A = this chain, B = another copy of it.
Amino acid sequence: MPKSIEVCLTPALLDLYAIEESIVVVIDILRATSSIVYGIDNGASAIIPVAQVEDCLNYANQGFLLAAERNGEVVEGYDFGNSPFSYTPEKVAGKTVVLTTTNGTKALHLASARAHQVVIGSFLNLESLCNWLRIQNKNVLLLCAGWKDKFNLEDTLFAGAVVNELRKDFAHFDDSCVAAEDLYLLAKDDLRSYLHKSSHSHRLAELNIEEDVKFCLQLNICKAIPVLSGDALVAIKA
């Protein structure tokens, strides 16, 4: 059966897609899915995504690290937020992290309710993710977490990078794939400059996370592919 790739530009559109037999790749480049990939690659046992900041508290006193971010900032009283620099081997190896973020967790939960399988994508694990998707013989939906249900550039650019890598391996691509791939090809020589055109990036610049942005746009520094297993993200078995 010829396989298809589609790009869902925001979680608000997810209901339009039949994903029961598909692999859904959740994308929240700045910064949730980049940090998740980096954390799992650095030996975190599991990362548990939860929808609400309060849900993190259900996991208190179990030896878990608690991470909560809203509107780009660490919530007071939590161990850390979703900066990738919090997910180094020293901090997370062998540990379980409970994480809530503005957009990424929401997209994950929506996808997990229906999809055949949910995995995590970021520029950090682009190549390893694409090599794996290529041999699964499943349709793929690239789900951009967006910004408060609206379209954002950075997630779309990553979706475009995946489409570009898999162009020869899949038979069907929708209009969103064409757009995402062309935007990626336009931006790929300098993703950071391109993102400076974006409103979201301006907002993030104000939050002083320019170093995070730079980190999240690195290509292929991780091999891990986090996969949702029950309510936790763990390293996929190769």
Contacts and interface: CB of A to CB of B under 8 A. Distances in A.
Interface of A: 9-10, 12-13, 16, 147-153, 156, 172-176, 178-179, 182-183, 186, 197-200
Contacts of A174: 150-151, 199
Contacts of A150: 13, 16, 174-176
Most B Cβ at <10 Å: residue of A9, A151, A156, A200: A151
Given A13-B13, A182-B183, A186-B186, A175 B148 contact: no
Nearest to A201: B175
Number of copies: 2
A11 to B, nearest CB: 11
Nearest to A153: B175
Nearest to A149: B16
Contacts of A199: 172-175
Given A156-B179, A198-B178, A148 B16 contact: yes
A5 to B, nearest CB: 12
Nearest to A152: B175
Contacts of A178: 153, 197-198
A176 B199 CA distance: 10
The 6 closest A-B pairs by CB, nearest first: A153-B175, A151-B176, A178-B197, A175-B198, A152-B175, A174-B199
Given A13-B151, A175-B198, 19 more contacts: A9-B9, A12-B12, A12-B13, A13-B150, A16-B149, A16-B150, A147-B175, A151-B174, A151-B175, A151-B176, A151-B179, A152-B175, A172-B199, A175-B200, A178-B197, A178-B198, A179-B179, A179-B183, A183-B183
Nearest to A156: B179
